[in-house]
Amino acid sequence: MIHSVYRAWGTACLALMLVAPVHADLPDTIVRLKPSVVLVGTYKATDSPRFQLRGTGFIIGNGLMVATNAHVLPAPGGGDAPALVVQLRQGSGEWQMRSVTVLETEPARDLALLRMEGPPGPAMRLGDSNKVREGDNLAFMGFPIGGVLGFSVVTHRATVSSITPAALPSPSAGRLSEMAIRGLRNGTFNIFQLDATAYPGNSGGPLFDPDTGDVVGVLNMVLIKGTRESALSQPSGISYAIPGVHVQELLDRHR
């Protein structure tokens, strides 16, 4: 009887091990996700430098879709305007430039979905951002401070300090932007407030679970005290991310 109980217990434990989700340490997750993080910018042969970094993006879906922030994209220009491109890190360590098409932008949520030319890249998996809770420990990737640190993917840890309506504080105390006021009138959505220091180049980067690598949000802004330059000299330590459920909605419309 005792042996039967032990055998049953052992069988149950083995079954749990087989069906449990695969988890990894953050260093292993970083290695796996870095090839999916891309540079988003503009290219023009006569510019100096020819490539101008505007922010971060990450590959999702079928490997040809790139999610980023709407504010990362340049304003529409004429025929002589620089081309919108992304750059992917190759196994050799070199960056490969790809042309992209803007499939859709959603300015109210500061999201954009791009389609890149060429063969598919390694796609990140979108997780369930509705399961994110205040106090969760997450991580994000991107290219902070533009190209000042070189074009290397940088990872930061972040704690979800609050899940709050997306009417963000203005650098001028007591003042909200017209877009924020419009959002309040039309119905807001929740945004993740992070206890983490991000920089302008992080815009559009993935916020992810450090164990599973599942993306649960998109970095979209940093609370700046004073001028834009003070984001470097006096970082506020407060950043924001758009929940990934809204990225999934964009992706579903373009499958």
Model confidence over 240-251: pLDDT tens digits? 999 999 999 999
Sequence letter at residue 71: H
- Is the confidence at residue 144, as pLDDT, over 60? yes
| Mean pLDDT score across all residues of the chain | 82
**Is a pLDDT exceeding 70 seen at residue 172?**
no
Domains observed in the chain:
30-116 (2.40.10.10), 129-252 (2.40.10.10)
Q: What is the pLDDT of residue 165?
A: 86
Q: What is the pLDDT of residues 207-218, one digit of tens each?
A: 999 999 999 999
Contacts of 162 (CB under 8 A, 6+ apart): 134, 192, 193
Paired strand residues for 84: 42
Average pLDDT over residues 196-216: 94
DSSP state at residue 157: E
Task: Say whether pLDDT at 78 is over 80.
Answer: no
Region 3-9 average pLDDT: 45
Q: Distance between CA atoms of 71 and 69, rounded to whole angstroms?
A: 5
What is the average pLDDT across 135-163?
Answer: 89
